[in-house]
Amino acid sequence: PYTYSDASGFAARNITNDTGTWTVVQDGGISGAKWGKVSWNETSPTGASVVVSVRSHDDPGALGLGSQAFAPVPNGGNFNAMGRYIQVQARLNANVQSQSPTLFDVSVASKVCDLDGDGDVDRNDISAIAAAAKTNMSVAFADPRDADSDRIVTVRDVRACTLQCTRPQCATN
């Protein structure tokens, strides 16, 4: 906090904790891209922390992406966000001894295999992925049919998604 009575900077040096922010925007390549996971590697001294949050929208401008609130996400955990662009913000908070955490890397992944967005992977999803795999369809980066993110839907993607089926024998609800 800044006050006129603190011209020496005592409060800034002795009361507040150091905080730094790193922000990046990832383009999913298609409108309505389904984002689902952010993972990162860090080391944090006791009392320090790294908090990662995301927001997404199809419009990268101030009235689109910039107007959305950031939502915290768990490291490596699943979440649901949709939009061509995803903005990831990492806030690094030092402890009271001014020891800062170190953020080594951050990776962003699209949500794959759940094509109809109903929260599960079933025979309906697998059938649609298999149809695209018959032609080795080229797709954009965040296409949910591309489980291995190589931008081509192949039988490898069908197999990877089949292994993610949420019901026995990939049954539909």
Q: Which helix (H) or strand (E) holds 77?
A: none
Contacts of 105 (CB under 8 A, 6+ apart): 40, 41
Quickly state the pLDDT bin for 111 (edges 50, 70, 90).
confident
Q: How far apart are CA 26 and CA 56, in angstroms?
A: 9
Tell me what pLDDT residue 79 has: 85
Task: Give residue-wise pLDDT tens across range 135-169.
Answer: 999 998 778 899 888 899 999 999 999 988 888 89
**Per-residue pLDDT tens for 55-99?**
999 999 888 999 999 999 999 887 888 899 999 999 999 998 889
pLDDT at 9 over 70: no
Residue 115 has pLDDT above 90, yes or no: no
DSSP secondary structure letters along 82-123: ESSEEEEEEEEE--TT-PPPEEEEEEEEE--S-TT-SSS--H
Predicted TM-score (pTM) of the model is: 0.68
Supply the pLDDT for residue 52. Answer: 97
